[in-house]
Structure 1
Amino acid sequence: MFLVKFELMKIQIINGPNLNLLGVREKSIYGNTDFDTYLNDLRHRYPAVEIDYYQSNVEGEIINKIHEVGFTSDGIVINAGAYTHTSIAIADAIAAIKSPVIEVHISNVYKREEFRHHSMLAASCKGVIAGFGMDSYRLAVENLINV
């Protein structure tokens, strides 16, 4: 008799500054759903995937999380919020790890202020998904699953 050990795929979602206020802030841009509700739905949709979640408003804590999971997770989905446009340090952290990273944005950043049109992170990421609301996260998870 053969025993097959089945390991869940592990995907880490990392959200940056102000994304703890989803469902409360700027609903016309970010929608009415808080992230915990969305995350629960995402986990139910992909029961064979262990989806971990981390949010911080602090750049260094985001970098520490990337270092912590970047060699063991099967992929990282990151919405670095405003740090997307300013953080060379987060970009360097992404470039230093082995796990593939997909940058996501809830809004279409290219329809917003000019400073949001440039990502410091994109060159270090596998890809970028923007403008599909919370569904941007699902699209990133599906990409990581289907690799």
Structure 2
Amino acid sequence: MADSTIPSLVMFIASIILAAAVSGVLINTVGGVSRAVDAQGGDLATNIETDVEIISDAGSPVYDDGTGEVTLLVKNTGQRSLPADATVLDVMLDGQYQTDVTVTEVTGAPEWGRGDVVEVVVGVGPLGAGDHRVKLVTRGDEEVFTFRA
């Protein structure tokens, strides 16, 4: 009986040590996954609460060939306020990313609140005659506007 007690005790202690080591690794892993899910959930909530609409009339002259600029009116229809500057928008014209973008809040406020309208001016230079397409992307929301130059 004494012959089997000592090896059983050694095996029991080794099992306890191994279980403690494994549980420590699992706790760290679960904590990391939990933090990642929280962060992604916050980003998703921001994207869901962000929505804009291009309210310019496609029949109106949005392109001025004298200045080489496309001017659009964009309304914040989402739940979140956005900064009234070009950092919040990615603009593509006919599939080309545009960097000469100016955003101005129509009322002059520093923030683009819910229901507020901004004027987006894109310096594009000369455009050929025909149909053109502007795509605005802000925090996951995409809007497309087609016009004729």
TM > 0.5 fold call: no
Higher strand share: 2
- Bigger Rg over Cα: 2
- Normalised TM-score (structure 2): 0.24
Structure with a larger share of its residues in helix: 1
